[in-house]
Amino acid sequence: MKRVYNFSAGPAVLPEPVLKKVQDELLNYRETGMSVMELSHRSAPFQNIIEEAQGLLRELLSIPDDYRVVFMQGGASLQFSMIPLNLLGEGQGADYIVTGSWSKKAVKEAEKVGDIRTLSLKEPFEIPVYTPEDFSPESSYVHITSNNTIEGTRFHKYPDTGRIPLIADMSSHILSEKIDVSSFGLIYAGAQKNLGPSGVTVAIIRDSLIGKAPDTCPTMMNYETYVKHDSLFNTPPTFSIYVLKLVLEWVKENGGVEGMQEHNERKAALLYNCIDESSLFHNPVPEKNRSLMNIPFSTGNDELDADFLKGAKAEGFEFLKGHRSVGGMRASLYNAMPLEGVKSLVDFMKKFESDRGGC
């Protein structure tokens, strides 16, 4: 069987050694005589899995002691509701920096709960540097989407929010580059882009933001429930957490976050150089705000884009079609995308361009 190069934005490519390990352990997980899917979430083997997953994430991101790591369901999208439900008391509000489609969705949910002030971009692909004066002093938190999966942009410098907690949706680039966790109040990410399969959502929360939810907050929407019960209040997505743990082991074996960052910068540079040198393909993002993970590009001609996508698929490059709101192409180069995949894509783009007489 031939595996393709999968450029999907999510669910996305997983490291092949992880998939092989899942396969090896599928029928009989470590002499239990059953698969991880069949293990009780209260059993010792599963307790070990979830503890190891937490420990690995703490180690890889150097998470300070006054932060908790929790595993939840409902995707990053449920966090759009959970964050305001936990952190906005009666009459309180928050600031949201709107850098793309996912930020807008986060705002839409938060507005149902509190008084939300939005900060929009002057240029759609340019994210400025923010300082404490940009935010309302009575704001309970500032929310950002640190990597914009659809637009292909990212913050090159995180906002300085002063004493207001900064909350980041890192769904599409967590573990792709080094971050200083202590400069955030809360970080969250759906796993299906850079951490594992779909079904589990990770949050890293500073202690001081836990236990603030009003009594009306549903139990399953309250961060405190997950913290108090080590993410085992109810049945967690056990298999997803298991695969996530294997992905974290793979990250550690491959140089940790630093190793990932080096690898990701090389991959992204290859593709951006190809686009910038091309007279056929374009990317609209100024260099400093370019995402390392999600790289949109197009020829500016829908028919030609469609031809490109058709040819690419025939060569084993999957899910290169851009998001429907943007069109064109998008290559997602998450941690698990091998350098070889990007090299092959670049070769294909060069060949396509010379065949079409682009230069």
Ligand X SMILES: *Cc1c(COP(=O)(O)O)cnc(C)c1O
Question: Hey, is 218 helix, strand or coil?
Answer: coil
- Active-site choice (95, 193, 267, 321): 193
Question: Hey, is 67 helix, strand or coil?
Answer: strand
65 is catalytic: no
**Alpha helical stretches, state H, the chain:** 16-25, 44-60, 75-87, 101-110, 223-228, 238-253, 256-277, 302-314, 339-355
The answer to whether 264 touches 290, Cβ cutoff 8 Å, is: no
Print the binding letters for residues 61-80 with ligand X: x by CB under 6 A, - otherwise: --------------xxx---
102 is catalytic: yes
Q: Under the criterion CB under 6 A, does residue 153 sit at the interface with ligand X? A: no
Residue 345 CB partners (closer than 8 Å, separation 6+): 5, 7, 271, 312, 317, 320, 331
Q: Which CB atom, from 154 or from 353, has the smaller least distance to ligand X? A: 154
CB 8 → ligand X: shortest distance, Å?
11
Structure tokens of 353? 């361009």
- Active-site choice (2, 24, 95, 169): 169
Q: Under the criterion CB under 6 A, does residue 249 sit at the interface with ligand X? A: no
Q: Which CB atom, from 80 or from 130, has the smaller least distance to ligand X? A: 80
CB 217 → ligand X: shortest distance, Å?
20
Residue in 246, 249, 225, 247 with CA at minimum distance from that of residue 236: 225
Q: Under the criterion CB under 6 A, does residue 145 sit at the interface with ligand X? A: yes
Number of residues near ligand X (by CB under 6 A): 11
The answer to whether 230 touches 237, Cβ cutoff 8 Å, is: no
193 is catalytic: yes
Print the binding letters for residues 83-122 with ligand X: x by CB under 6 A, - otherwise: -------------------x--------------------
The site for ligand X (CB under 6 A) is made up of: 10, 75-77, 102, 145, 149, 169, 171-172, 190
Q: Which residues are catalytic?
A: 102, 169, 193
